[in-house]
Amino acid sequence: MEVDDAAPRGGEPPRIRRLEESVVNRIAAGEVIQRPSSAVKELVENSIDAGSSTISVTVKDGGLKLIQVSDDGHGIRCEDLPILCERHTTSKLSAYEDLQTIKSMGFRGEALASMTYVGHVTVTTITEGQLHGYRVSYRDGVMENDPKPCAAVKGTQIMVENLFYNMVARRKTLQNSNDDYPKIVDFISRFAVHHINVNFSCRKHGANRADVHSGSTSSRLDAIRNVYGASVVRDLMEIQVSDENAVDEIFKMDGFISNANYVAKKTTMILFINDRLVDCTSLKRATEFVYSAILPQASKPFIYMSINLPPEHVDVNIHPTKKEVSLLNQERIIEKIKDAIEEKLVNCNNTRIFQTQALNPSALTQANTRKDMGTEVSTPTGEKSQKIPVSQIVRTDPRDPSGRLHTYWQGQTSNLEKKSDLVAVRNIVRSRRNPKDAGDLSSRHELVTEIDSNLHPGLFDIVKNCTYVGVADEVFALIQHNTLLYLVNVVNVSKELMYQQALCRFGNFNAIKLSEPAPLLELLRMALKDDESMSDVNEKEKLEIAEVNTEILKENAEMINEYFSIHIDQGGNLTRLPVVLDQYTPDMDRLPEFMLSLGNDITWDVEKECFRTAAAAIGNFYALHPPILPNPSGKGIQLYKKNKDCMGSAEQADNNLPSTDEDDIDQELLAEAEAAWAQREWTIQHVLFPSMRLFLKPPKSMATDGTFVQIASLDKLYKIFERC
């Protein structure tokens, strides 16, 4: 009989072995990143810690194929990238004692490292003041290559691809790829309710509409309304609890709880403790016990609570995913909150609202008539069929309308009325999803309708199904559609896209906050100074024009802020601009020109023309114009010589004379120009064309004005090559 050498002999205990570091790291990673939603939560919390004002989440196949989190925070230093994804590397603390006063969401430095052990991680980041960003990929906690310079939008973008590719058992438990997406949406919704100064969006990869899209607001109720709908807000009550007079602890709780009229099948409890999203089973059980005495058996409450405690009273290091925390004197806090909720509910329980449905008289009359007629049914030949008992009548003939829902509608409606009813229902649903849409004006709807009616079907198909090829020159880009190759005027299509988006996001823009308020008067004076058509006007007249335009914009500041999120304070300073496309910031060098256009070109007296001209001005400002600095590629580098007298004539440049030494080039200006042009090319490929496929409705004029030009046909080229 053979004996296995690895098995214990004679009752000897098995040997203890030290696991390899890769095995230890993978086991730890599976504990920290339990599901795709765990990874999203960790990445979003990192973005919040980075001081972001906009956070966008994109998910594919429930997070197994792709998780992409982009923010506009402070970014990551280039010198920190080599150790970014190593375990236990963090910027949040340096000593164990720091845990006693920790205020950030993360602190262990395990989340990013864990993701690299169970997925493929790519980080793109840029810090303030840098001319370009860096992109680097990680696997098993280390960089796969050195950071590569690249064009980047302010902040950090982290992509996690093929999550759990090396954990077969974990992937089997997540076979339904859509299981985790609702959890991700729920996480983002909770963050959006609490962090009201941050713009959140969450969408499936390739989806036209975000499932969560919240704008920054000053009101918690507005945040709840944006995420959960107006029907929830209608039945909420504000609640505040404090224990500041206690000797041994200090805590404050504020939030909103549903009243006795709220009806839901599932409890929604959003709990933040010291701005940290956590679960507390004992607190949830206590509140549900209070509501059980007030609500019907099948109804559950809606609860939002934000509890603030001294950091030293909260132990945040008790759960691998930081899902739970431990509180000092937890039982006493829960009891005090429970008593406050019970008192609030008792005081509001004087009245109840019950939803009723009116009975349609026409349906009742028809039913009675059929009953009185004895339910005799005629056959096509005119013979009466056998009388059927009332209890056995069913609708078996599709031509018989008695079983249709239309029977119970008020009166007989025409097709036009049915269509208008459908539009009304859609508007109601839209207003619930986003309350600002409820204030839409008819003139804005007319402009949107004009866009739809002026759509060119052929160009629409090209835009929807094209493949981006590359940039052709400073104005045109190349796209392929089926077997045809087109030149596309980037400036024209981006201008039209921004115009349409300005109308579609009307009254519901996120905002770009300027780092410093910009005085309108100075912006307008700069614009007038650079305006060639004003070269004959003296400085005094220019100042008067700037002052008049400043007053016009200040008078209409409330309107353009409400509808287009262009905020001008009482002192005449520009403080905020709208986000027309997510993850895109316009060229601020054109801001003075934009302000002058707002003052001069908008027809303020006519509502429809006002909206049209304002949207057109926004479209022109946000369009992807070539950067102001000349393109440094090719012969353009001659324009960056320090000594302009040595540039030579245009004829010499055309003859490709040898260029001067690098010392003769203004390297700083050249680097700025190269970064600007690289950023534009990146934006065209990664922002403009994906947005065009989703949102652009090309007008008929683009078919004839040179915006789209067919330059090659594969079929015809094939015939030519075949002859050769």
Between residues 383 and 75, which one has the greater pLDDT? Answer: 75
Split at pLDDT 50, 70, 90, the class of 168 is confident
How high is the pLDDT of residue 685?
A: 86
Q: Please provide the average confidence, as pLDDT, over all residues in the chain.
A: 77
Nearest to 576 by CA among 47, 53, 50, 151: 53
Tokens of 193: 């309710």
Task: Enumerate the β-bridge partners of residue 578.
Answer: 511
How high is the pLDDT of residue 27?
A: 66
User: Has residue 413 got a pLDDT over 50?
Assistant: no
CB under 8 Å to 314, separation ≥6 — which residues?
Answer: 273, 274, 325, 326, 327, 328
44 near 109, Cβ under 8 Å?
no
pLDDT digits (tens, 9 = 90+) for 700-720: 999 888 889 888 877 676 666
How high is the pLDDT of residue 403?
A: 40
Which segment, 338-342, 632-636, 637-641, is predicted with the most confidence on average?
Answer: 338-342
How high is the pLDDT of residue 157?
A: 94
User: Has residue 357 got a pLDDT over 60?
Assistant: no
User: Has residue 300 got a pLDDT over 50?
Assistant: yes
Compute how many other C-beta atoms are within 10 angstroms of the C-beta atom of residue 129: 6
User: Has residue 658 got a pLDDT over 50?
Assistant: no
The whole-model pTM stands at 0.50
User: Has residue 246 got a pLDDT over 80?
Assistant: no
Mean pLDDT value across residues 315-322: 62
d(CA 103, CA 31): 23
- Residue 262 phi/psi, 5-degree rounding, is -75, 135
How high is the pLDDT of residue 318?
A: 63
Mean pLDDT value across residues 88-106: 59
Between residues 137 and 530, which one has the greater pLDDT? Answer: 137
Which of 50-64, 219-233, 308-322 has the weakest average pLDDT? Answer: 308-322
CA 616 to chain centre: 24
Strand, helix or coil at 665? strand
Return the DSSP state at 441. -
d(CA 353, CA 302): 17
Type of residue numbered 143: M
**Segment holding 599, helix H or strand E:** helix 591-601
User: Has residue 283 got a pLDDT over 60?
Assistant: yes
Between residues 169 and 59, which one has the greater pLDDT? Answer: 59
CB under 8 Å to 554, separation ≥6 — which residues?
Answer: 520, 568, 570, 572
For the chain, give the percent of residues with pLDDT over 90: 16
Split at pLDDT 50, 70, 90, the class of 602 is confident
Tokens of 282: 């004992």
Mean pLDDT value across residues 669-677: 82
Type of residue numbered 333: I
Tokens of 232: 């929830």
How high is the pLDDT of residue 411?
A: 41
Tokens of 102: 């920790």
Task: Enumerate the β-bridge partners of residue 236.
Answer: 258
Split at pLDDT 50, 70, 90, the class of 532 is confident
